[in-house]
Amino acid sequence: MLKLIKEIIKYRELIWALALKDLRVRYKRSFLGFFWALLHPMLMMVVYTIVFSTIFSRKIPNYAIFLVSALFPWTFFTQSLNYSISSIIGNSNLLKKVRIPKSVFPVSAVLSNMINFLLSLIPLALLILLYRFPFHQTLVFYPVQLLFLFVFSLGIGLFLTTVNVFFRDVSQIIQVVLRAWFYFTPIIYILDFIPTKYHIIFKCNPMYYIIDGFHQIVYYGMIPSTTSTIMSFIFCFASLLIGNFIFRRYQDTFIYYL
Protein backbone atom coordinates (compact mmCIF):
# COMPACT_ATOMS: atom_id res chain seq x y z
CA MET A 1 0.00 0.00 0.00
CA LEU A 2 2.74 2.44 0.96
CA LYS A 3 4.71 1.53 -2.15
CA LEU A 4 1.68 2.23 -4.32
CA ILE A 5 1.21 5.63 -2.69
CA LYS A 6 4.89 6.46 -3.17
CA GLU A 7 4.70 5.49 -6.84
CA ILE A 8 1.63 7.67 -7.35
CA ILE A 9 3.40 10.64 -5.75
CA LYS A 10 6.71 10.07 -7.56
CA TYR A 11 5.16 9.53 -10.99
CA ARG A 12 2.23 11.92 -10.58
CA GLU A 13 3.21 13.94 -13.66
CA LEU A 14 3.35 10.79 -15.80
CA ILE A 15 0.02 9.59 -14.42
CA TRP A 16 -1.54 12.96 -15.19
CA ALA A 17 -0.10 12.94 -18.72
CA LEU A 18 -1.41 9.41 -19.36
CA ALA A 19 -4.86 10.37 -18.04
CA LEU A 20 -5.05 13.38 -20.38
CA LYS A 21 -3.79 11.26 -23.28
CA ASP A 22 -6.54 8.73 -22.57
CA LEU A 23 -9.17 11.47 -22.71
CA ARG A 24 -7.78 12.87 -25.96
CA VAL A 25 -7.76 9.43 -27.58
CA ARG A 26 -11.27 8.70 -26.31
CA TYR A 27 -12.75 11.78 -27.97
CA LYS A 28 -10.40 11.92 -30.97
CA ARG A 29 -12.20 12.70 -34.25
CA SER A 30 -15.43 13.07 -32.33
CA PHE A 31 -17.52 15.99 -33.61
CA LEU A 32 -18.56 17.07 -30.10
CA GLY A 33 -15.27 16.11 -28.47
CA PHE A 34 -15.18 16.73 -24.72
CA PHE A 35 -18.81 17.83 -24.80
CA TRP A 36 -19.64 14.12 -24.74
CA ALA A 37 -18.49 14.14 -21.12
CA LEU A 38 -21.47 16.43 -20.47
CA LEU A 39 -23.88 15.00 -23.02
CA HIS A 40 -23.45 11.29 -22.29
CA PRO A 41 -24.58 11.39 -18.63
CA MET A 42 -27.49 13.66 -19.57
CA LEU A 43 -28.68 11.23 -22.25
CA MET A 44 -28.42 8.36 -19.79
CA MET A 45 -30.39 10.37 -17.26
CA VAL A 46 -33.14 11.10 -19.79
CA VAL A 47 -33.44 7.44 -20.83
CA TYR A 48 -33.56 6.07 -17.27
CA THR A 49 -35.92 8.81 -16.12
CA ILE A 50 -38.37 8.10 -18.94
CA VAL A 51 -38.23 4.35 -18.32
CA PHE A 52 -38.45 4.32 -14.52
CA SER A 53 -40.14 7.57 -13.53
CA THR A 54 -43.60 6.13 -14.22
CA ILE A 55 -42.84 3.37 -11.70
CA PHE A 56 -41.05 5.25 -8.94
CA SER A 57 -41.85 8.96 -9.33
CA ARG A 58 -44.95 8.84 -7.10
CA LYS A 59 -42.97 7.41 -4.19
CA ILE A 60 -39.75 9.34 -4.88
CA PRO A 61 -40.32 13.10 -5.39
CA ASN A 62 -37.95 14.83 -7.82
CA TYR A 63 -37.04 11.43 -9.17
CA ALA A 64 -34.59 12.81 -11.76
CA ILE A 65 -32.42 14.31 -8.98
CA PHE A 66 -32.59 11.09 -7.00
CA LEU A 67 -31.55 9.11 -10.07
CA VAL A 68 -28.62 11.20 -11.28
CA SER A 69 -27.18 11.67 -7.79
CA ALA A 70 -26.37 7.93 -7.90
CA LEU A 71 -26.29 7.22 -11.65
CA PHE A 72 -23.35 9.53 -12.35
CA PRO A 73 -21.12 7.97 -9.64
CA TRP A 74 -22.12 4.50 -10.88
CA THR A 75 -21.15 5.48 -14.43
CA PHE A 76 -17.75 6.62 -13.16
CA PHE A 77 -17.32 3.27 -11.40
CA THR A 78 -18.21 1.17 -14.45
CA GLN A 79 -16.11 3.23 -16.85
CA SER A 80 -13.15 3.09 -14.47
CA LEU A 81 -13.31 -0.69 -14.43
CA ASN A 82 -13.76 -0.95 -18.20
CA TYR A 83 -10.72 1.21 -18.88
CA SER A 84 -8.62 -0.27 -16.08
CA ILE A 85 -9.08 -3.81 -17.36
CA SER A 86 -7.22 -3.06 -20.60
CA SER A 87 -4.74 -0.57 -19.14
CA ILE A 88 -1.81 -3.01 -19.03
CA ILE A 89 -2.54 -4.81 -22.30
CA GLY A 90 -3.25 -1.53 -24.09
CA ASN A 91 0.15 -0.15 -23.06
CA SER A 92 2.13 -3.32 -23.74
CA ASN A 93 4.42 -1.60 -26.26
CA LEU A 94 5.38 1.07 -23.76
CA LEU A 95 5.96 -1.49 -21.00
CA LYS A 96 8.36 -3.40 -23.24
CA LYS A 97 10.42 -0.30 -23.99
CA VAL A 98 10.42 1.79 -20.82
CA ARG A 99 11.09 0.74 -17.25
CA ILE A 100 8.31 2.37 -15.22
CA PRO A 101 6.00 1.11 -12.46
CA LYS A 102 3.14 -0.82 -14.03
CA SER A 103 0.71 0.58 -11.49
CA VAL A 104 0.72 3.99 -13.22
CA PHE A 105 -1.50 2.61 -16.00
CA PRO A 106 -4.54 1.48 -13.97
CA VAL A 107 -4.16 4.57 -11.76
CA SER A 108 -4.18 6.86 -14.81
CA ALA A 109 -7.21 4.99 -16.22
CA VAL A 110 -9.22 5.67 -13.06
CA LEU A 111 -7.96 9.27 -12.93
CA SER A 112 -9.05 9.98 -16.52
CA ASN A 113 -12.54 8.79 -15.67
CA MET A 114 -12.49 10.93 -12.55
CA ILE A 115 -11.87 13.98 -14.75
CA ASN A 116 -14.74 12.83 -16.95
CA PHE A 117 -16.94 12.46 -13.88
CA LEU A 118 -16.11 15.93 -12.55
CA LEU A 119 -17.28 17.37 -15.88
CA SER A 120 -20.56 15.47 -15.48
CA LEU A 121 -21.21 17.40 -12.25
CA ILE A 122 -22.02 20.44 -14.41
CA PRO A 123 -25.19 18.80 -15.82
CA LEU A 124 -26.07 17.68 -12.29
CA ALA A 125 -25.82 21.25 -11.01
CA LEU A 126 -27.91 22.51 -13.95
CA LEU A 127 -30.54 19.88 -13.27
CA ILE A 128 -30.75 20.90 -9.61
CA LEU A 129 -31.27 24.50 -10.70
CA LEU A 130 -33.87 23.48 -13.27
CA TYR A 131 -35.89 21.58 -10.66
CA ARG A 132 -35.33 24.36 -8.12
CA PHE A 133 -33.96 21.71 -5.82
CA PRO A 134 -31.91 22.99 -2.86
CA PHE A 135 -28.11 22.79 -2.81
CA HIS A 136 -27.79 21.17 0.59
CA GLN A 137 -24.97 22.15 2.95
CA THR A 138 -24.04 18.47 3.11
CA LEU A 139 -22.47 18.84 -0.35
CA VAL A 140 -19.27 19.79 1.50
CA PHE A 141 -18.95 16.06 2.28
CA TYR A 142 -19.18 15.16 -1.42
CA PRO A 143 -15.37 14.99 -1.91
CA VAL A 144 -15.10 12.46 0.94
CA GLN A 145 -17.68 10.21 -0.69
CA LEU A 146 -15.93 10.68 -4.01
CA LEU A 147 -12.65 9.58 -2.44
CA PHE A 148 -14.31 6.38 -1.24
CA LEU A 149 -15.55 5.73 -4.78
CA PHE A 150 -12.13 6.47 -6.32
CA VAL A 151 -10.27 4.15 -3.94
CA PHE A 152 -12.80 1.34 -4.35
CA SER A 153 -12.69 1.65 -8.16
CA LEU A 154 -8.88 1.62 -8.13
CA GLY A 155 -8.75 -1.49 -5.94
CA ILE A 156 -11.16 -3.42 -8.16
CA GLY A 157 -9.37 -2.07 -11.24
CA LEU A 158 -5.97 -3.33 -10.06
CA PHE A 159 -7.44 -6.77 -9.50
CA LEU A 160 -9.25 -6.95 -12.85
CA THR A 161 -6.34 -5.69 -14.93
CA THR A 162 -4.14 -8.39 -13.35
CA VAL A 163 -6.60 -11.19 -14.11
CA ASN A 164 -7.19 -9.86 -17.63
CA VAL A 165 -3.52 -10.18 -18.52
CA PHE A 166 -3.79 -13.95 -18.07
CA PHE A 167 -7.46 -14.48 -19.01
CA ARG A 168 -8.67 -12.13 -21.75
CA ASP A 169 -12.30 -13.20 -21.26
CA VAL A 170 -12.51 -11.01 -18.15
CA SER A 171 -13.34 -7.91 -20.18
CA GLN A 172 -16.42 -9.67 -21.54
CA ILE A 173 -17.48 -11.30 -18.28
CA ILE A 174 -17.30 -8.05 -16.33
CA GLN A 175 -19.93 -6.48 -18.58
CA VAL A 176 -22.45 -9.10 -17.48
CA VAL A 177 -21.39 -8.76 -13.84
CA LEU A 178 -21.74 -4.97 -13.92
CA ARG A 179 -25.21 -5.21 -15.45
CA ALA A 180 -26.39 -7.49 -12.65
CA TRP A 181 -24.53 -5.40 -10.06
CA PHE A 182 -26.38 -2.29 -11.26
CA TYR A 183 -29.80 -3.77 -10.46
CA PHE A 184 -28.61 -5.10 -7.09
CA THR A 185 -27.55 -1.57 -6.10
CA PRO A 186 -30.25 0.95 -5.05
CA ILE A 187 -29.66 3.43 -7.86
CA ILE A 188 -33.03 3.58 -9.59
CA TYR A 189 -35.00 2.62 -6.48
CA ILE A 190 -34.83 2.86 -2.69
CA LEU A 191 -34.21 -0.16 -0.51
CA ASP A 192 -37.66 0.21 1.08
CA PHE A 193 -39.14 -1.17 -2.15
CA ILE A 194 -37.44 -4.50 -1.42
CA PRO A 195 -38.96 -6.90 1.14
CA THR A 196 -37.18 -6.55 4.49
CA LYS A 197 -36.05 -10.18 4.56
CA TYR A 198 -33.86 -9.53 1.49
CA HIS A 199 -32.18 -6.37 2.82
CA ILE A 200 -29.23 -8.32 4.20
CA ILE A 201 -28.37 -9.50 0.68
CA PHE A 202 -28.28 -5.94 -0.65
CA LYS A 203 -26.25 -4.72 2.33
CA CYS A 204 -23.51 -7.22 1.47
CA ASN A 205 -22.98 -5.17 -1.67
CA PRO A 206 -20.06 -2.70 -1.20
CA MET A 207 -21.59 -0.25 -3.67
CA TYR A 208 -24.76 -0.09 -1.58
CA TYR A 209 -22.99 2.00 1.07
CA ILE A 210 -21.11 4.20 -1.40
CA ILE A 211 -24.17 4.94 -3.54
CA ASP A 212 -26.32 5.47 -0.45
CA GLY A 213 -23.80 8.08 0.68
CA PHE A 214 -24.27 10.03 -2.56
CA HIS A 215 -28.05 9.82 -2.17
CA GLN A 216 -27.85 11.08 1.40
CA ILE A 217 -25.56 14.00 0.56
CA VAL A 218 -27.16 15.24 -2.67
CA TYR A 219 -30.82 14.21 -2.46
CA TYR A 220 -31.72 13.96 1.22
CA GLY A 221 -29.38 16.68 2.49
CA MET A 222 -28.06 14.42 5.24
CA ILE A 223 -24.62 13.35 6.37
CA PRO A 224 -24.10 9.61 5.71
CA SER A 225 -24.62 7.57 8.85
CA THR A 226 -21.66 6.38 10.90
CA THR A 227 -22.40 2.78 9.91
CA SER A 228 -22.50 3.67 6.21
CA THR A 229 -19.25 5.64 6.45
CA ILE A 230 -17.44 2.88 8.34
CA MET A 231 -18.64 0.21 5.91
CA SER A 232 -17.61 2.36 2.93
CA PHE A 233 -14.13 2.78 4.43
CA ILE A 234 -13.78 -0.94 5.17
CA PHE A 235 -14.79 -2.01 1.68
CA CYS A 236 -12.59 0.64 0.03
CA PHE A 237 -9.56 -0.22 2.12
CA ALA A 238 -10.09 -3.96 1.61
CA SER A 239 -10.50 -3.62 -2.17
CA LEU A 240 -7.32 -1.53 -2.50
CA LEU A 241 -5.38 -3.82 -0.17
CA ILE A 242 -6.39 -7.00 -2.02
CA GLY A 243 -6.21 -5.48 -5.50
CA ASN A 244 -2.78 -3.98 -4.89
CA PHE A 245 -1.48 -7.22 -3.32
CA ILE A 246 -2.58 -9.36 -6.27
CA PHE A 247 -1.29 -6.80 -8.79
CA ARG A 248 2.17 -6.69 -7.20
CA ARG A 249 2.26 -10.44 -6.77
CA TYR A 250 1.98 -11.05 -10.51
CA GLN A 251 3.18 -7.82 -12.16
CA ASP A 252 6.65 -9.19 -12.89
CA THR A 253 5.12 -11.95 -15.04
CA PHE A 254 2.97 -9.61 -17.13
CA ILE A 255 5.66 -9.22 -19.76
CA TYR A 256 5.43 -12.93 -20.69
CA TYR A 257 1.72 -12.64 -21.55
CA LEU A 258 1.67 -9.35 -23.46
Residue 58 has pLDDT above 70, yes or no: no
Whole-prediction pTM = 0.88
Cβ 219 vs Cβ 60: under 8 Å: no
How many CB atoms neighbour CB 201 within 10 A? 11
Helix (H, G, I), strand (E, B) or coil at 18: helix
| Residue 238 neighbours by CB under 8 Å, 6+ apart | 155
CA atoms of 168 and 119, how far apart (whole Å): 31
Cβ 94 vs Cβ 108: under 8 Å: no
CA atoms of 188 and 70, how far apart (whole Å): 8
- Residue 190: name the closest of 68, 67, 14, 23 by CA: 67
Query: Residue 139, CB half-sphere, CA atoms under 13 Å: how many?
Result: 11
The per-residue pLDDT for range 77-134, each reduced to its tens digit, is 999 999 899 888 888 888 877 788 888 999 999 998 898 888 888 888 888 888 888 8
- Residue 22: name the closest of 127, 107, 132, 142 by CA: 107
CA atoms of 207 and 205, how far apart (whole Å): 5
The per-residue pLDDT for range 71-84, each reduced to its tens digit, is 899 999 999 999 89
